[in-house]
Amino acid sequence: MEKVKISGGQLFILMFLFELGTAIVIGPGLGAEKDAWLAVLLGLISGMILFLVYYALYRLYPDQPLTGYAKKILGKYIGSVIGIVYLFYFIYIASRDLRDFGELLTASTYTYTPMFVINAFMILAVAYVLFLGIEVLARTGEIFFFLLMLIGVVGTILVLVSGMIEVHNLLPILENGWGPVLQAWPTTYTFPFGEMVAFTVLLPYLNRPNLGLRVGLSAMSFSGILLMWVVAMEVAVLSVYVATRSTFPLLSAIGLVNMTGFFQRLDVVVVLTLIIGGFFKIAVFFYAALISATEVFRVSKYTRLIFPFSIVILLSSMTVANNYAGHIQEGLEISTYYASLPFQTGIPLLLLVIALIRRYFKNR
């Protein structure tokens, strides 16, 4: 771990950018069709409850990342195994996010550029900022946060003013009952809200530990509400038929903006959003992987691992799926149930229960 501290505000911004990250472009919860926003709301609420687990673990071991306290709770050997699997998990998700990023850019603007080139440049930028340390990442976040907010506010105003929102596209609410919403719920819960598990590694850097809960929950609810608005807007603008068929619904929706023939072709705004969000998402997962590795393998300086890890993430982002369909199917089915649920919910919950039991017996 580095010997630096980040402020509550910086952590908030990192969490916010991380949560929006790739999710805002891909449109989570559209499996629930018209009620996608409800699926996001359910995901948000359950994700916030899950964050309480991470926070409780953090308060029990305020100066250690997840892979550190896993060893304390479960013993050296099992703890190390847990650390290694988390290392793989973080790398896996980082490479999935890198793939998302490359897919959108190649599908929308850089049609004839090999995805490898795009991904390589992205990982280069991420590796560079991580080389400079978490504090620099946090400060970079501050700059981009305001840029992203500006884009968001302007984009929202343009969408509202150009009169594309057809509220009746969202009605009737719960057309087919709660079934589809509940079916889509695991995907919105794990992506993006459950991915907060990466912050179990970053929380120890917080300069005032008692702020952790407030910062985490507010960042989640702020970004969650924004995601709800975005998904609802996508359905309202595109109608459920087009939105569910779109590879990147936000891109299709914003592309329709045409205000007085002057403000139009705003697709680039979406691409910019993705680049900013994707950058922070990949960076946080990458960083979580680096810190996990230093904990498990007792490497003195994590910067030594950046180069090999970059190569691993870059290459796995290329090999993680054959095509976009495979990539998304893996994300919705395999990754949700076999990777995300155990790593985001199962193991942390188990760790907390065991830690509390141990503490209880120790105190007696």
Partner 1 sequence: MTRKFKLFLLFPGLILLAGCWDQQETGEIALVMGMGIDKTEENLYRVSYQIVNPGQVAGGKTGQGQGTAVTTYSETGGTIFETVRKISKKVPRMLSFSHTVVLIVGEDLAKEEGLARILDFSERYYDFRSTALVLVARAGQARPILSILSPLERIPAMKIQETVQKTEQVWGETPQRNINDVVQTLSSKSKGLALAGISLVGNMKEGQTSANNQQAIPNTLVKINGLALFKDGKLNSWLDEEEARGVAWVQNKIKKTVLTSKCKENKGDMAVEVMRTSTHVKPKVEQGKPEITITIRGEGHLEEITCPADLTNPKVIFKLNNTFESNIKQEVIAAVEVAQKHKNDVFGFGEAINRANPKEWKQMKKQWEDKFANMDVQVNVDFFIRGTGLRKQPIILQEK
CA 106 – CA 117 distance, rounded (Å): 10
Q: For 215-242, what is the HEC assignment?
A: HHHHHHHHHHHHHHHHHHHHHHHHHHHH
Omega within 30 of 0 (cis) for the link into 114? no
Among residues 1, 45, 81, 107, the one that binds partner 1 under rule CB under 8 A: 107
Shortest gap between Cβ of 325 and partner 1 (angstroms)?
A: 14
> Is 325 one of the binding residues for partner 1 (CB under 8 A)?
no
> Number of residues in contact with partner 1, rule: CB under 8 A?
24
Name the helix (H) or strand (E) containing 71: helix 66-74
Q: Judged by CB, which is closer to partner 1: 1, or 256?
A: 256
Please give the structure tokens belonging to residue 237: 């603008």
Which DSSP state fits 198?
A: G
Report if residue 128 touches partner 1, rule: CB under 8 A: no
Cβ atoms 110, 118 nearer than 8 A: yes
Residue 308 burial (CB count, 10 A): 10
* DSSP β-bridge partners for residue 6: 206
Closest to partner 1 by CB, 227 vs 238, is 238
Q: Per CB under 8 A, does 316 bind partner 1?
A: no
Region 200-259 residues binding partner 1, contact defined as CB under 8 A:
238-239, 241-242, 245, 252, 255-256, 258
In terms of CB distance, is 169 or 345 closer to partner 1?
169
DSSP character at residue 259: E
Give the span between the Cα atoms of 278 and 100, in whole angstroms: 8
Contact residue for partner 1 among 49, 117, 132, 334 (CB under 8 A): 117
Q: Are 17 and 216 in contact (CB under 8 A)?
A: no
Q: How far is the CB of 115 from partner 1 (least distance, A)?
A: 11
Tokens 């960083």 correspond to: 287
Say whether residue 113 binds partner 1 (CB under 8 A): yes
Asked whether 217 and 54 are in contact (CB, 8 A), the reply is no
DSSP structure class, residue 114: -
Footprint (CB under 8 A) of partner 1, residues 151-170: 168
Question: Could you give the C-alpha distances from 330 to 114, 187, 326, 337, in angstroms and in order?
Answer: 22, 12, 6, 10
Q: Which of 75, 116, 132, 175 binds partner 1 (CB under 8 A)?
A: 175
C-beta of 132 vs 357, nearer to partner 1: 132
38 belongs to the binding site for partner 1 (CB under 8 A)? no
Burial class (CB in 10 A: 0-12, 13-18, 19+), 211: middle
The verdict on whether omega for the bond into residue 28 sits within 30 degrees of 0, i.e. cis, is no
Tokens found for residue 170: 């969202």
Minimum distance, C-beta of residue 255 to partner 1, in the bound complex (Å): 6
113/210 with CB nearer partner 1: 113
Beta carbon of residue 86, minimum distance to partner 1 (angstroms, whole number): 35
109 or 303: whose CB is closer to partner 1? Answer: 109
Q: Which is nearer to partner 1, 138 or 251 (CB)?
A: 251
Binds partner 1 by CB under 8 A, chosen from 109, 221, 303, 316: 109
What's the rounded Cα separation, in Å, for the pair 88 and 337?
A: 16
Nearer residue to partner 1 within complex by CB, 16 or 248: 248
* Nearest approach, Cβ of residue 94 and partner 1 (Å): 24
Closer of 7 and 162 to partner 1 (Cβ)? 162
Instruction: Specify the amino acid at residue 35.
Output: D
Contact call for residue 119 and partner 1 (CB under 8 A): no
Of 239 and 303, CB closest to partner 1 = 239
Interface with partner 1 (CB under 8 A), residue from 7, 264, 303, 316? 264
Site residues (vs partner 1, CB under 8 A): 107-114, 117, 168, 171-172, 175, 238-239, 241-242, 245, 252, 255-256, 258, 264-265
